[in-house]
Structure 1
Amino acid sequence: MSSVFDPVRRHAAETPDHIALRGGADQWTYRQLRDASARYAGALAAEGLSPGDRVLLVAPSVPEFVVAYLGIQAAGCVAVPINTMSTRAEAEYVLGDAGCSLAIAWHGLGPAVAEAAEALKVPSWTLTPGAPVPDTAATPVVDRDRDETAAILYTSGTTGRPKGAQLTVGNLLSAGEIGAQCCRGSSADRTGTGLPLFHVFGQASVMMATLTAGGSLSLLARFDPASMLEMLRRDRLTIMAGVPTMWNAILNASGDADPADFAGLRVAVSGGASLPGEIARAFEARFGCVILEGYGLTETTALGTFNDIDRGGKTGYTGRAVPGLRVQVRDVDGNECAPGTVGEVHIKGPTVMRGYWNRPADTAAAISPDGWFRTGDLGETDTDGDLRIVDRIKDLIIRGGYNVYPGEVEEVLYDHPDIVEAAVIGVPDDHYGEEVAALIAARPGSELGADEVSNWTRERLSAYKVPRIIRFVDELPKGPSGKILKRSIDRTELARAHAPGDVPARRG
């Protein structure tokens, strides 16, 4: 029997005065975190919640999120974290789909959650600084089987309504143990992130790993590069985690930052999306800091592969399977592919989810009877066994019968000195079936035009991979973790008659 609360209980007993959380000027020791979370659990029990009840949690990356999350775990309930930008309709959908018994929302957010809860006649609480609760006795921690659901994280997907991935007690504890092992985390480490804790990367790979190792976790409620650099210096971070757009933002808005600021940083972790090689190379050249890329999904509790600290980062690759997990690339017949051959990535191990909430057919389609999870990602290994993610299967562009991997085209675009962000997608085309389109955010003040972009890619790619539709935007749409959201791009608009600035179509 176990609880996701176990690591905090352990460190609160052994090193009670060690700092567990930092949020701006606020600091929480392990004793304070344990006691506040235990009080929160007591308040949940006094409200009438029972083990297994689902609790919606909507808060930014502040220490109080951790208190409420761990309080939910200590009460034996199931945390259902969602995006702080969720609309009333989105919150209402999750409340209803998960069958939540309570909704908790940060005081600084709008009324969407409270209104959604009221519409479904679900009680709601407001989470405020310090995470105070009515005076109730702290109840004993509810221990549970490791295969019981501890959290439900809703995956946005590309089609249909979001599905709730059930992460178990064992999933989350294993993610913390493996994550700490990969980064060689210890109580001496000071980890910092601007990732949202309601997302699996921040919640499992960062929060759980830090608390498992007994280190301290510095949180940014809202990411911006200047604040991240300030936190790096102020808290003397030894581990920092982010998604590619965050590392890119720091690189392009680094001001007076220099290698000395990064001298104490042992590990810089990137995940959530493929890290363009140009960003990794530029970051190392500018700051002397190697960014280690990893790969995982919500359904695998954020873990899959990671670049080994001793070997250093291999640009373009996400490393080998992390301890305790197995990773294979398979062809359409289910056979393991030889190195250099593209196939679908499969993952097996203690972090693979229990299944999708109330969706047995989707669960059966995603997880084989022997426990292998189909990721839906295309990848290939090299002769060293390192994995390279090529693209999502659903993002693959088939132009005139030829496969075009958007990630390959984006890598070339990021190499251009005036391109800050890029997204490549397929749009319907009467002649080729799909045409290659590129949306580009150029460096401020740049006079970059479509012809230059076309010539740049044509010199570096086969003709069928060259974007024929090129549009410039101020910025690309992003999700809560900072990942570029290609599904938010209007393909219908791009497929219309050529607009000014598009490259004339060249058949062939």
Structure 2
Amino acid sequence: MTNLATLLTDSAAAAPDARAIVLDDRVLTYGALDDLSARVATMLCGSGIRPGDRVAMILPNVPHMPIAYYGILRMGGVVVPLNPLLSPRELTYHFQDAEVSLVLVWEAMAEATRAAVAQLEREVPVVEVTAAGTLQSLGEVPPMPELAERADDEPAVLLYTSGTTGRPKGAVLTHHNLRTNAELSASLFATGPGDVMFGGLPFFHVFGQTVALNGVIASGATVTLLPRFDPAKALEILVRDEVTIFAGVPSMHIALLHAAGEGPVEVPHLRAGVSGGSPLPVEILERFERVFGAPIYEGYGLSETSPVVCFNQEAHGRRPGSIGTVVRGAQLRVVDDRDEDVPVGEIGELVVAGEYVMAGYWRNPEATEAAIRDGWFHTGDLARVDEDGFYYIVDRKKDMVLRGGYNVYPREIEEVIYQFPGIAEAAVVGVPDETLGEEVAAVVAFRDVPEAETEARIDELDAFVRERVAKYKHPRYYKVVDELPKGPTGKILKRSLDLEGAGRRG
């Protein structure tokens, strides 16, 4: 059977008493997760939901989330996971676009959800999920005995992109897409029943959903949840729950390092860190490994690719700064504007094919045709590949700065900035310039630098960067902030940077 929920039913049959989900002192075994999700399936069917219907799910990383997730899947519904921080206006758009038939929402977000549903032209039931009452009420519902049959190519999850280049689009991920990528993730990290995965990545996002939820459940391991990322709490969880694999985005690794100080930190069970979502500065990777004593494996993927398609794999060795080599089941190329391969070492757009690529954008054939050409999904990321098959993300195509006819890749400058002592976060962007078209600007956050000393530190940073990059590349504008704006997964949002008040240097 193809149904993605078989990841859970198979593991529950093998070890029903094993720990599946942990949240502080609460533990959900595989048997309990299996049983409760089967009761959710019955509840949904009783509410008139049929196979193929879309069910929106607005839940943080609490045990109720996987219960609802696998419950929707096992009755044949399509999961539409949404960020709990969306506004009512944004929720209304998603409900309309996905044509959802029912909404499951965490109690804290119920008011915004009802306001969003009120703007729809049709009735959509809202089921409020509460910490205290929902699990008890499920006890009154009989479990659905069988899983709905689903074909490989049928939708399992409708995953909305972040909308950085327009209105969010729903990537249609099939049962086959997600099941095979979960199995791949488990094999990449050699995850097994004795492992404990850190569950701080939001499960409504593809990285957390595949790597920290589906991949864990597929392998019979345990995931320990942190509903809202806090570095001090994360450190506590790493030790308390004997975490073996830490999965996070770069800002999580940076925050952990800041909380840990100079280290080293004693986390004897930690055997690997996993990074994705955005490029991890090499300086951060090396510091994390020194402080926590575990290697970081960086990989790459997108919502549209389920997500993992490239990874630093044990068999091929690790290369800091690289996203690794192509994984089984995927194909990668680096192409020019005519979709022809560029020579080894040269920069082009990364395109992806294979069994993890989405079926398309939900009811948006124009966007699908623009993104998938001749079977290749165009990522919008600029990359290069070396002679050994290791891929390197240079930057987002749209983030490249064109300064006086020269291409400047912000990530290259950010890597240098992160080498400067005391840098907490950094982002490099282009700003309009009448003479050159665009000029280079850097926004940085320092660690423990008094405000009175920031100008002097910027002068030092500017000199540091100028020594290490070509003249046309170094930033002419700098701005110091307390913290850079981030999205729900902790990814730095360059489009939200405020450059007002940035000072010019040189």
Q: When the two structures are superposed, what TM-score results if normalisation uses the length of structure 1?
A: 0.95
**Displacement of 1:191:** 1.0
Of 357, 360, 369, the residue aligned with 2:365 is: 360
Tell me the SS of whatever aligns to 1:125. Answer: strand
| Further displaced range: 284-293 or 29-38 | 284-293
Match of 2:117 in 1: 117
Corresponding position: 1:339 with 2:341: no
**Displacement of 1:100:** 0.5
Q: Are residues 293 and 241 of structure 1, via their aligned partners in 2, closer, same or farther at CA, if it must alter by over 3 Å?
A: same
Decide whether the 8 Å contact of 1:190 with 1:238 is kept in 2: yes
Match of 1:481 in 2: 489
Match of 1:13 in 2: 13
Match of 1:457 in 2: 465
Between the two proteins, the alignment pairs up a number of residues equal to: 496
**Displacement of 1:312:** 4.6
**Displacement of 1:290:** 1.4
**Displacement of 1:255:** 5.1
Decide whether the 8 Å contact of 1:195 with 1:242 is kept in 2: yes
Matches within 5 A, 1:212-361: 212-254=218-260, 258-261=264-267, 263-361=268-366
Matches of 1:323 and 1:161, distance apart in 2: 32
**Displacement of 1:146:** 1.1
| Further displaced range: 394-403 or 179-188 | 179-188
Give the letter aligned to residue 296 of structure 1.
G
Give the letter aligned to residue 434 of structure 1.
E
Give the letter aligned to residue 286 of structure 1.
V
Residues 294-340 of structure 1 show CA distances to partners (whole Å, capped at 9, x for unaligned) of 00000001111110125553110010011211111112222222221
Decide whether the 8 Å contact of 2:170 with 2:362 is kept in 1: yes
Matches of 2:334 and 2:328, distance apart in 1: 18
Match of 1:203 in 2: 209
Give the letter aligned to residue 206 of structure 1.
A
Unmatched tracts of structure 2, length 5 or more: none
Q: Cα RMSD (Å) of the superposition? A: 1.6
Match of 2:197 in 1: 191
Q: Are residues 413 and 176 of structure 1, via their aligned partners in 2, closer, same or farther at CA, if it must alter by over 3 Å?
A: same
Residues 193-218 of structure 1 show CA distances to partners (whole Å, capped at 9, x for unaligned) of 21111011000122111111111111
Matches of 2:317 and 2:264, distance apart in 1: 21
Residues 204-259 of structure 1 show CA distances to partners (whole Å, capped at 9, x for unaligned) of 12211111111111110111111111111111111110000000110111159634
Tell me the SS of whatever aligns to 1:465. Answer: coil
Decide whether the 8 Å contact of 2:61 with 2:203 is kept in 1: yes
Match of 1:38 in 2: 38
Decide whether the 8 Å contact of 2:271 with 2:295 is kept in 1: no
Match of 2:504 in 1: 503
Unmatched tracts of structure 1, length 5 or more: none
Match of 1:128 in 2: 130
Q: When the two structures are superposed, what TM-score results if normalisation uses the length of structure 2?
A: 0.95
Residues 265-286 of structure 1 show CA distances to partners (whole Å, capped at 9, x for unaligned) of 2221000000001101111222
Decide whether the 8 Å contact of 1:418 with 1:448 is kept in 2: no
Decide whether the 8 Å contact of 1:103 with 1:117 is kept in 2: no
Give the letter aligned to residue 192 of structure 2.
S
Tell me the SS of whatever aligns to 2:93. Answer: helix
Moved over 4 A (4+): none
Match of 1:85 in 2: 85
Decide whether the 8 Å contact of 1:191 with 1:239 is kept in 2: yes
Decide whether the 8 Å contact of 2:244 with 2:270 is kept in 1: yes
Matches of 1:88 and 1:108, distance apart in 2: 13
Matches of 1:221 and 1:256, distance apart in 2: 27
Matches of 1:418 and 1:326, distance apart in 2: 40
Tell me the SS of whatever aligns to 2:462. Answer: helix
Identity over aligned pairs, percent: 45
Decide whether the 8 Å contact of 1:46 with 1:136 is kept in 2: no
Match of 1:58 in 2: 58
Match of 2:411 in 1: 407
Matches of 1:228 and 1:356, distance apart in 2: 35
